[in-house]
Chains A and B, each alone.
Chain A
Amino acid sequence: MTLSGKVAIAGIGQTRFGKGLEQSERELACIAIDAALRDAGIEPGTVDGLACYTMEDTPDFELVRDLGLGSIHYFAKIAHGGGAGPGAIGNAAMAVATGQCRAAVVWRARKRSGAATRVWARSSPVLEDHWKWSRPSGLLRPVDEVAMLARRYMHEHGDIVPALAEIAVTLRAYANANPAATMYGKQMNHADYHDSRMVADPLRLFDNCLESDGAAALVLLPADQAGKDAVLVEAFAQGMVPGHQSMSDFHRADPLSGSSSVTAAKLWSMTRYTPADVDVAQFYDAFSPLILFSLEAYGFAAKGDGTRLITEDGIGLTGRLPVNTAGGSLSEAYLHGFNLALEAVRQLRGEATTQVPNARLALVTGCDVTPNGALLLRRGA
């Protein structure tokens, strides 16, 4: 028994994305969920399932009151920050598929643009958790941890800077076609990328995600209650490789082969589709190297060959694999990757601002350097 075809993503909704939005996180969540419910064409009172990230601050019961949702029979929070998005959607899909609930809402709302809200900036003076092994040495931010792996990757497989530049420029170009994107109307070329300031060598400012306020939500229904051309969950997997620790995943024999590799193996084992069938991919991209690492982990390129896929085969609309086609976390908005899932749905509906012609199969992944998950979505008809 698998999830294949049993559950539809029947509605999507989002707020405006940007810095310094006036609404609270809770109100942003309400706006996005309300839009998703209207898109799905269902009444709030029919919702009986809720799933979100553990890092979500708004209590689910407040949203039940705020929105007039029904009696809730499934509520779950999925751990590991940027690794959680596909897991939150996939777990809710499992609940819908098994009848634990009949209509599930999954959401992410953030007000991230204030510097004091950044997770690493809240690092307490005494570290009790695994950050004790790295932060006292000044390895403070997620970007520093990813830079450590990026530097090692370069040692083993060669220069990645041209590929990182290509990622940043390509995602910005997608954002320039997407009026909802934070970076809509703000051009970036390769020279701009190389001129941007270094943050954690070899990673520059434009290798980093935006700091965004906003919210996004989607609605899951049993497939037989959605239209026949609805977007269906084809497969879902989560993964945590033994020896892993979140972000500073440095203590296994091969840190360059992380939790994504076990997530991918599980995902592909649960579907008849293969990477070659994927029309469009939405890779979690808090930092540009995560796209490179994920391309390889999910089987689109051999280890060490991802840079060639990016710079020669291409990740733009006419490239071999269009990636993060709304601009992603680098240029659309950083909602812990949840906006990536909405873009996958728009692609499969044929409603994307940079539409991949006849897109039928889309991959959505969580953060490569945390415990994570992935979703394979397909168009029903």
Chain B
Amino acid sequence: MINGIPLPARDGPFEEGFWAALDRGVLAHQHCEACATWHFPPRWRCHCGGALTYQEVSGAGTLWSWTEVHPPVLPAFAPFAPYVVGLVQLDEGEGLRMVGNLVVASGDPINRVRPEQLQIGMKVQAVIGEIADGIPWPSWKIEPSIPTGEMP
């Protein structure tokens, strides 16, 4: 947890199932039975017109892209900069992607993983932690087979 970061409102439309799953320590996304499509961010209904229900996902994905953020940044993030932010493609569906921090182990600081450890396409796995009291959020654990370098 980092004090003072911008936090996501939990009461957005169509998000109840997303947050309820995270509260249980799992990741869920909207799924359309009619056309077998996964969706994120949350929406009213599928583009095919089908109804959406929240279904647990595996949390398995691959690194689609990343950047290393250098100063100047918001004050809350400044002590950690530069730090890597990842964009993860979930295994369930093309376009089902989430932005998140990359870690070697759950609870790592956001600057634990270095660019040298990253390859686009590498496997990642969701780990649910809290970014603030009452705000669960997924980070993405990189595969332990990848050399982890030295602690920053």
Contacts and interface: CB of A to CB of B under 8 A. Distances in A.
Nearest to A243: B95
B87 A121 contact: no
B80 interface: yes
Contact of B99 (A137, A151, A199, A253): A137
What size tier do the contact residues of chain A reach?
35 or more
Interface in A153-205: 155, 197-203
Interface in A113-164: 115, 121, 123-128, 130-141, 144, 147-149, 151-152, 155
Given A137-B99, A242-B47, A126 B9 contact: yes
A201 B68 contact: yes
A139 B85 contact: yes
Interface residues of B, number: 41
Contact of A127 (B9, B72, B94): B9
Which of B41, B67, B77, B95: most chain A Cβ within 10 A? B67
Given A151-B120, A250-B97, A250-B99, A144 B67 contact: yes
A147 B40 CA distance: 21
B7 interface: yes
A278 to B, nearest CB: 31
A138 B110 contact: yes
Interface in B89-141: 94-101, 110, 115, 120-121, 131, 135, 137
B69 A144 contact: yes
A14 to B, nearest CB: 29
Given A127-B9, A132-B8, A133-B98, A148 B70 contact: no
Interface string B63-91: 01111111011100100101101010000
A248 interface: yes
A65 interface: no
B8 A201 contact: no
Contact of B40 (A152, A201, A251, A253): A251
Given A136-B137, A152-B120, A128 B97 contact: no
A137 B6 contact: no
Contacts of B94: 253
A139 B87 CA distance: 10
B149 interface: no
B5 interface: yes
Given A127-B9, A132-B9, A135-B6, A252 B95 contact: yes
Contact of A250 (B8, B87, B110): B87
Contacts of B85: 137-139, 144, 148
Interface in A224-248: 242-243, 245, 248
Which of A124, A128, A140: most chain B Cβ within 10 A? A140
B152 interface: no
B103 to A, nearest CB: 11
A37 B147 CA distance: 64
27 contacts: A127-B6, A127-B7, A128-B9, A130-B41, A132-B12, A133-B99, A134-B99, A135-B5, A136-B8, A136-B131, A138-B69, A140-B73, A144-B69, A147-B67, A148-B66, A148-B87, A152-B87, A198-B68, A199-B70, A200-B68, A201-B67, A203-B67, A250-B64, A250-B99, A251-B97, A252-B95, A253-B94
